[in-house]
Amino acid sequence: MKKQNWLIGLAAGAGAGAVLYSLLSRDIPKGATAVQPFDKNRYLGKWHEIARLPNRVEKNIKHLTEDYSIKEDGLINVVTRGYDFKKNKWIEIKGKAKSAGREDIGMLKVSYFGPFYSACNILDLDGDYHYALVSGSGLDYLWILSRETVIPQSIKERFLKRAGKIGFDVSKLEWGVA
């Protein structure tokens, strides 16, 4: 009987450990799925930030763009530019991105600081790769991106509905940052 209790305890501990690991290592918000199939070559190019959840990193920044291109080593080069209206100057930061797993799933990892990567999940994307709904690993980071500085109302409503269903507080989105 003691051996059976020990095995049950071991199995329960292993199961709890696996659940805890999956929760702590999750790179996409619970209930969200990334775009599939995803074509990273079509995602390359310049994106304008149309709306975002407020965050410390982008505080006081407007007219933010991200430009994605393929580097010689196969990684994705990311150049982020924006206007800091408090400092009255343009800022630019360069980083790199790579697929977070399978390349046909819209999950990237982006790094601006050495070996430290953050999740970049493409949650929704129109068929022409003109508009994207993007998140971080949790519900704190959400962006609506466009190839232009505007977005059609139908796409806006679609993205807001999807984000709301996942659990994002879309009432907190900052608009007019493009």
What pLDDT, on the 0 to 100 scale, is given for residue 70?
96
Answer whether 146's CB lies under 8 Å from 125's CB.
no
Looking at every residue in the chain, the average pLDDT score rounds to 87
Q: How confident is the model at residue 177 (pLDDT cuts 50, 70, 90)?
A: low
Which of these ranges, 3-17, 21-35, 147-161, has the smallest mean pLDDT?
3-17
**What's the mean pLDDT in 128-145?**
98
Q: Which residues contact 45 (CB under 8 A, 6 or more apart)?
A: 67, 68, 69, 147
What pLDDT, on the 0 to 100 scale, is given for residue 178?
60
Answer whether 132's CB lies under 8 Å from 145's CB.
yes
What pLDDT, on the 0 to 100 scale, is given for residue 114?
85
Which of these ranges, 13-17, 96-100, 111-115, has the smallest mean pLDDT?
13-17
Residue 11 has pLDDT above 70, yes or no: no
What pLDDT, on the 0 to 100 scale, is given for residue 119?
97
What pLDDT, on the 0 to 100 scale, is given for residue 26?
64
Q: Which residues contact 17 (CB under 8 A, 6 or more apart)?
A: none
Q: How confident is the model at residue 8 (pLDDT cuts 50, 70, 90)?
A: very low
- 125, β-bridge pairs: 132
Q: How confident is the model at residue 101 (pLDDT cuts 50, 70, 90)?
A: very high
Q: Which residues contact 36 (CB under 8 A, 6 or more apart)?
A: 104, 105, 106
Domain-wise residue ranges, the chain: 28-175
pTM of the predicted model, to two decimals?
Answer: 0.84
What percent of the chain is predicted at pLDDT more than 90? 79
Among the four given CATH numbers 2.40.128.20, 3.20.20.30, 2.40.10.340, 3.40.50.970, the one describing domain 28-175: 2.40.128.20
Q: What is the gyration radius of the CA atoms in the chain, in angstroms?
A: 19
- The DSSP line for 5-22 is HHHHHHHHHHHHHHHHHH
d(CA 178, CA 146): 9
Answer whether 84's CB lies under 8 Å from 173's CB.
no
